[in-house]
Amino acid sequence: MLRIIVSDTTAITHLAKINALDLLNSLYNEILIPQAVYDELTKNGKTQPGALQIMNAS
């Protein structure tokens, strides 16, 4: 079964703070991050928890 999740900033930053972003990949086949969430995470460069991982994600 194909499982897709659309994530918001809160979920990403909190999982990143506890080094558990890979949990999303283990649970879902596809993770969608809306442009507004991407912009919010990366607006301060790499300082926001999870920003670097999201910037380098495929």
Whether pLDDT at 20 is above 80? yes
Range of lowest pLDDT (28-32, 34-38, 45-49, 51-55) = 45-49
Mean pLDDT of 16-42: 87
Whether pLDDT at 10 is above 80? yes
Quickly state the pLDDT bin for 7 (edges 50, 70, 90). Answer: confident
- This prediction has a pTM of 0.71
Helices (H) and strands (E) in the chain, counts: 4, 2
Contacts 24+ apart (CB under 8 A), 8-11: 8/34, 8/37, 9/37, 9/40, 9/41
* pLDDT for the residue 4: 79
